[in-house]
């Protein structure tokens, strides 16, 4: 972050006293930073247009790459290629003014779950159409990835391909040293790792990786070790059908062909775009996009699913009297293995383990749970790795960290799933630990069991109320993170006020801590995605929200106490557990 700020400060120092760069561009605010420079929203004083002004330092290879980027972009005139207006330089920097399109990168959109399957396919198709235009002009991009695709704001999917800094012109001498592989490793084709040249098929491979990743919810080759990742790339990707058997055969076949290890077997960008458009009629629509894998993480996101599956199964097996003493550990290990190898089977196994113990206590209880488990399996069928996150309630509840659920669920795809998972996790906290089942022992009627569950929840009215608050927070959290500082503060303040009012007997410290942690983490994530620095008034805003939440809670509690004939000033002592 310090390096990014240093690059922005360096760029600002190039602005002369009249406030104009190159005598015409007035920088307004930073839009983001990259490895060698920064991008600013600037106003062109000559024609009155706003532009995205890319400012790159001349040190190292950055200047030659920037010049190549400008020359490549200037040759392209396509609706899905970001338009470059020119190229200029001074003693210290290179400047490339681009058309300004309000929006954010495809990477950010995928992480936030903004696109469904149809939207992903449409975005990839537009990228391929841009690449086909570039290939027709003898230009190979060589660095196609979600962070180099701009998704324009609006109701429909409209993308722009940008950053042609690694582009190579047909017949031009490469500037890459021997043994140096340009581009982002996760999207580089096998032939490049073998030292061969990058042709149009390399760009098609990158789009294939993008599609596989976006539709499956994980990267096909991602490993913490670059060496291991390179080995996986050279061995090829598994068929997309192994992760998404529900997708149309035409779509799966198109993605699989794009990821052929032999570049000669890959379709052209034009052919793949046509195949994707033809497959859209058969694509199974689902609510929202999958969880995006964070490529800067050291441990793959998927590793948490087997661990949670194993812990949840072992805990259930040990808590409910049915299985022999050593079985819970064995069941937990089996659940972890299944969740790692066959996520859908693993989820079904974990959900099935409690059926027999609960049925042994009461047949009706086992029947009610079996129906609920089947419904839950259906909800998580397309995203089995995230289907066990409701078990987090058994962990965060005893730790007093229930308010962190929205933050923990931010990578789950789709607002509806996040909301349901958060609500279920809150309900689980009410039954974590030793549960008294005497009220339904030997009960055979599922309706009687349903009545007992309702009465049990009635004794803890704060659970569904807190569940609704946290479910709402989980649903809107990715959008708040993308919108920036004001939305993040509003979300954190809303979570704080909602939880304090919904749970008058709850711990103020845990709720306040959770709200502040949520706010801090989201602000850091927002800044990493190109947001501006956190301002002092942000801290003041969340501080005022904390104070207001306490006052509102006191007033609500006081009126409640008056209604019950209590002294409101003694409420804090009377209602604390």
Q: Which residues does residue 149 pair with via DSSP β-bridges, in sequence order?
A: 161
193-253-137 Cα angle (round to 5)? 55
Report the first-to-last Cα separation within the chain, whole angstroms.
44
Q: Which residues contact 540 (CB under 8 A, 6 or more apart)?
A: none
- Catalytic residue of the set 44, 117, 143, 163: 143
Catalytic (active site) residue 143: yes
Q: Are 532 and 480 in contact (CB under 8 A)?
A: no
State the DSSP code for 84. B
**Strand, helix or coil for residue 271:** helix
Alpha carbons 190 and 208: distance in angstroms, whole number: 13
Nearest to 53, CA basis, from 80, 92, 88, 105? 88
**Strand, helix or coil for residue 159:** strand
The count of C-alpha atoms lying within 13 angstroms of the C-alpha of 132, restricted to the half-sphere facing its C-beta, is 16
For 389, the token pair is 């996150």
Alpha carbons 364 and 357: distance in angstroms, whole number: 12
By DSSP bridging, strand 103-105 and strand 149-152 are antiparallel
Ramachandran region, residue 524 (left: φ > 0; alpha: ψ -120 to 50; beta: rest): alpha
For 36, the token pair is 């060698």
Alpha carbons 364 and 356: distance in angstroms, whole number: 12
**Residues recognised as catalytic:** 143
């Amino acid at each position: 972050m310090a390096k990014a700020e240093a690059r922005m400060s360096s760029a600002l120092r190039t602005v002369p006293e009249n406030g104009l760069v190159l005598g015409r561009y007035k920088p307004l605010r930073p839009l983001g930073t990259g490895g060698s420079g920064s991008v600013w929203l600037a106003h062109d004083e000559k024609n009155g247009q706003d532009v995205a002004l890319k400012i790159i330092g001349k040190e190292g290879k950055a200047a030659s790459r920037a010049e190549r980027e400008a020359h490549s972009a200037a040759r392209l005139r396509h609706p899905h290629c970001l338009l470059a207006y020119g190229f200029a330089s001074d003693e210290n920097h290179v400047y490339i003014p681009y058309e300004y399109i309000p929006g954010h990168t495809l990477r950010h959109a995928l992480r936030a779950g903004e696109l469904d399957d149809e939207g992903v396919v449409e975005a990839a198709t537009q990228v391929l159409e841009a690449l086909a235009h570039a290939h027709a002009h003898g230009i190979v991009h060589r660095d196609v990835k979600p962070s180099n695709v701009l998704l324009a704001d609006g109701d429909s999917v409209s993308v722009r391909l940008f950053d042609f800094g690694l582009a190579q012109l047909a017949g031009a001498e490469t500037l890459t040293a021997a043994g140096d592989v340009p581009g982002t490793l996760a999207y580089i084709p096998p032939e490049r790792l073998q030292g061969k040249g990058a042709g149009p098929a390399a760009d098609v491979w990158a789009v294939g990786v993008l599609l596989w990743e976006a539709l499956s919810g994980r990267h096909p080759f991602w490993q913490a070790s670059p060496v291991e990742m390179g080995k996986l790339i050279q061995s090829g990707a598994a068929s997309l059908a192994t992760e998404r058997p529900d997708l149309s055969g035409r779509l799966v076949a198109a993605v699989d062909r794009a990821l052929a290890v032999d570049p000669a077997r890959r379709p052209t960008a034009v052919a793949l775009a046509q195949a994707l458009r033809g497959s859209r009629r058969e694509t199974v629509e689902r609510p929202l996009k999958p969880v995006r894998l964070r490529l800067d993480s050291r441990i793959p996101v998927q590793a948490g699913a087997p661990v949670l599956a194993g812990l949840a199964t072992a805990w259930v097996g040990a808590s409910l009297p049915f299985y022999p003493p050593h079985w819970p550990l064995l069941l937990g290990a089996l659940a972890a293995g299944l969740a790692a190898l066959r996520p859908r089977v693993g989820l079904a196994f974990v959900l099935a383990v409690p059926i027999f113990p609960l049925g042994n206590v009461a047949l009706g209880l086992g029947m009610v749970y079996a129906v609920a488990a089947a419904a839950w399996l259906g909800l998580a069928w397309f995203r089995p790795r995230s289907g066990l996150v409701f078990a987090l309630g058994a962990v965060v509840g005893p730790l007093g960290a229930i308010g962190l659920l929205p933050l923990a669920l931010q990578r789950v795809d789709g607002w509806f799933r996040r909301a349901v998972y958060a609500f279920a996790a809150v309900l689980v906290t009410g039954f974590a630990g030793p549960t008294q089942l005497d009220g339904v022992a030997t009960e055979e009627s599922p309706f009687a069991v349903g009545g007992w569950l309702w009465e049990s929840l009635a004794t803890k009215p704060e659970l569904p109320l807190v569940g609704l608050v946290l479910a709402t927070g989980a649903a809107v959290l990715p959008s708040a993170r993308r919108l920036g500082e004001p939305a993040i503060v509003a979300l954190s303040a809303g979570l704080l006020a909602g939880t304090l009012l919904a749970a008058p007997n709850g711990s103020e410290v845990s709720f306040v801590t959770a709200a502040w942690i949520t706010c801090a983490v989201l602000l850091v994530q927002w800044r990493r995605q190109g947001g501006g620095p956190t301002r002092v008034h942000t801290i003041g805003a969340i501080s005022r929200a904390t104070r207001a939440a306490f006052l509102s809670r006191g007033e609500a509690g006081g009126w409640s106490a008056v209604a019950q004939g209590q002294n409101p000033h003694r409420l804090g002592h009377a209602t604390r557990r």
